[in-house]
Amino acid sequence: MELKKIVAYLWKLPVCGLAFVLGTFVGSMLAGILGMQMPSLPAGTDPQTLMLIQLLSSPLLALALAFLSQRMEGGFLSRWLILSLLTWVAYSVNTLLEASIFTTFGAGAPFTALIQLVGSLTCAAAVAVLFRPQDGGRGFSASLREFFAGRSARDWAWRLALAAVIFMPIYLFFGRLVVPFTYEYYQQELAGLTAPGWGQILPILFVRSVLFLAVSLPVLITWRNSTRSLILSLGFAMFVLVGALGLIAGYWMPLSVRLFHGVEILADSMVYAWVLVILLVSRP
């Protein structure tokens, strides 16, 4: 990477991260006006520490989105909406769905979803402005037509159906590998963790898998770089949004749990991106 580009990243990433933090602050005021219930904080935490961690980790969120924004085709509006949706669903909605069955922190979900929606919109807007592709190329509709050209409706039907559920076996495979190292914490309900049954896990996992496809597909459609860079960029973004940011902020959880889950989420994010590319992007 050129020195000029590195210097640009050094000031652009904190600006985009600050946009996210300011957006969540505006969202919290809006949630207060609407009378939404604030979520309860885990034992041993305080709002100031959580805010500081969010501020310090926000450039990582911006970096994940920047890698995508610079390689996507389209103008500001399409990239802003695609990145906003990806951020909000993978970081906020997904986390709230998982927390609803794996933790005891269920209250205040609408409050959290709203403030992170506003934060996602402001951060994605900053990224779309500061990390533009060299050539914006065509609009989204032209990219959409090209993406779906060349395959029959029947071919697309089974590919999209499989892609909608493919996250489930990937998640279960890598999740099973870390069970021996983490499950006792869930069984003992330490740090607010809890162990749900399969009747709770599978429906939530199905919803997550469908949502992940919905927010990843626009990235695949507008991508204008190599498939290798797509796998790495989308996989890294999913790792940051689904796992890294939450694990960094979850300082009340045992370090071993955070580390093992971090490795797990990195692995399933990269494999998920790879499988999506094989199913939906790679051509004979």
Neighbours of 177 (CB within 10 A): 13
Taking residues 26-55, what's their average pLDDT? 89
Taking residues 176-204, what's their average pLDDT? 89
Q: Given this model, what pLDDT does residue 40 score?
A: 79
Dist. CA 251–CA 15, nearest whole Å: 25
Residue 103 or 122, more confident:
122
Q: Given this model, what pLDDT does residue 267 score?
A: 97
User: Which of helix, strand or coil describes residue 223?
Assistant: strand
Taking residues 193-222, what's their average pLDDT? 95
Which of 3-7, 44-48, 71-75, 189-193 has the largest mean confidence? 71-75
Q: Is the pLDDT of residue 110 over 80?
A: yes
Q: Quick one: 233 exposed, middle or buried, by C-beta within 10 A (0-12, 13-18, 19+)? A: buried
Tell me the average pLDDT of the chain. 93
pLDDT band at 168 (very low <50, low <70, confident <90, very high): very high
Taking residues 3-8, what's their average pLDDT? 84
Dist. CA 91–CA 240, nearest whole Å: 8
Distance (Å) of CA 32 to CA 7, 108, 115? 39, 12, 10
pLDDT band at 34 (very low <50, low <70, confident <90, very high): very high
Taking residues 116-144, what's their average pLDDT? 92
Dist. CA 105–CA 41, nearest whole Å: 8
Q: Is the pLDDT of residue 106 over 80?
A: no
- 104 contacts: CB under 8 Å, gap ≥ 6: 189, 192, 193, 194
Token pair recorded at residue 165: 């559920």
Q: Given this model, what pLDDT does residue 53 score?
A: 94
Could you tell me the pTM of the whole model? 0.94
pLDDT band at 134 (very low <50, low <70, confident <90, very high): confident
Instruction: Report the percentage of the chain scoring pLDDT > 70.
Output: 98
Q: Given this model, what pLDDT does residue 1 score?
A: 59
Taking residues 205-233, what's their average pLDDT? 97
Token pair recorded at residue 107: 């209250």
| Least trusted range by pLDDT, from 4-8, 28-32, 189-193, 238-242 | 189-193
Q: Given this model, what pLDDT does residue 139 score?
A: 85
Q: Given this model, what pLDDT does residue 284 score?
A: 56
Residue 260 or 136, more confident:
260
Q: Is the pLDDT of residue 246 over 80?
A: yes
Taking residues 103-115, what's their average pLDDT? 83
Taking residues 96-108, what's their average pLDDT? 82
Taking residues 235-251, what's their average pLDDT? 95
Dist. CA 174–CA 169, nearest whole Å: 9
| Least trusted range by pLDDT, from 58-62, 104-108, 212-216, 253-257 | 104-108
Place of tokens 């926000």: 58
